[in-house]
Amino acid sequence: MRDKVGRRGRSRRWVYWAAAVVLVFAVGVGSFFALRALTGDDSGVAAQRKPLPPDSERYLNEDAQKPRFNQEINGILVGPGESGPGLESGAGLEPHTDLCTGVTPEWVDPERAVGTVVDFNPAYLPDGVGTAGAEPEGVVACGGTVFSVLKYYNVPSKFSGKDQTGDLLWSGGSFSIWRMLSEKRTFPLMGAAERMGPISIAGRPAVLMRPVMPGGADVGFDGVAIVIAEDFGLTVIQGGGLPLGEFIKIAEGLY
C-alpha cells in the first residue's frame, strides 16, 4: 500500500512539474499579473504603489501587434514555433536528449542534482529576492541521469524611499532559471521578434529578449528572457519583476 501511495505521490509531483514547465514559457502571463498587481486597489500595499508609466498601455498594445517569427541568433533557434526541452514538437515531455529514449522522465530528489553540470546556485541575487515555494527545485532525471534543474524566485517590489514610498525601482514579480542537457539549441520565445538579439554572457553566446517598456520605465513591468548556449545544453532565465540590468547580472553570476 505504501508503495502505491509513493508512486501516486511521485506521479502527482511530476504533473506539477510539467505544469510549471508550461509556466516558464508564459512570459506574457507574468507580465499581466505584474501589471494588475501594480494598478489594483485590493490591498493597502497596492494602493500605495505608483501608477504605471505614461503611455505604458500604448507600448504594450503596439508590441502585441508586432511580428513574431522563428529566427536563429548566436546559433540558437528561438521564436514562437520552436520546440524546446520538455516541449518536443509541442507534444508531451520529450527532452532533447538521447538519455530519455524509451525511458520515462522522473522527478527526483534535488540532492541528486548536486555536482552535476545542470546544477547551479547564482552568485548574485538582488537583496530581497528569494526562492519561491516549499519545493523550489524541479529536478528531473532519465535513466538515472539528471537532465534538468528548474528554480523559481520571488521578487518583492522596491521603492527609493522607506515604507514603500518614493520612486518605483522594481515592479516585483517572479522569474525562473532553468538549466538542462540538450543536443539541440532551440527554445520557444513568444515575444516580438524585434525585441530579440545577440548577447554574450560570461563569454557564452546567448539570446536576449528585451522588455517592452523603454528607458527608465524598465523596472520589471514586462518579461525578459536570456537563453544561454552551453557545451551541454541550455540555461534559460525568464520572467519579470526586475530591471533588465539586474537579470544580466544574475546571468553573469551563474559562472
- Distinct helix (H) and strand (E) counts, the chain: 5, 14
Q: Tell me what pLDDT residue 39 has.
A: 31
User: What type of residue sits at position 48?
Assistant: Q
Which residues neighbour 37 within 8 Å (Cβ) at sequence distance 6 or greater? 46, 172, 173
Question: Which stretch of 51-55, 227-231, 233-237 has the lowest confidence by average pLDDT?
Answer: 51-55
Q: Tell me what pLDDT residue 48 has.
A: 38
For 138-196, write each residue's pLDDT tens digit. Answer: 899 988 899 999 999 999 999 999 888 998 999 999 999 999 998 889 999 999 999 99
CA distances from 31 to 4, 70, 229 (A): 40, 22, 25
Residues 11-33 have a mean pLDDT of 37
Q: Tell me what pLDDT residue 37 has.
A: 35
pTM higher than 0.75: yes
At CB < 8 A and 24+ separation, what contacts does 229-232 make? 229/74, 229/75, 229/76, 229/185, 229/204, 229/205, 230/117, 230/179, 230/204, 232/117, 232/118, 232/181, 232/182
For 82-139, write each residue's pLDDT tens digit. Answer: 665 543 333 333 445 666 778 888 989 999 999 999 999 999 999 999 886 544 468 9
Name the percent of the chain lying above pLDDT 70.
70
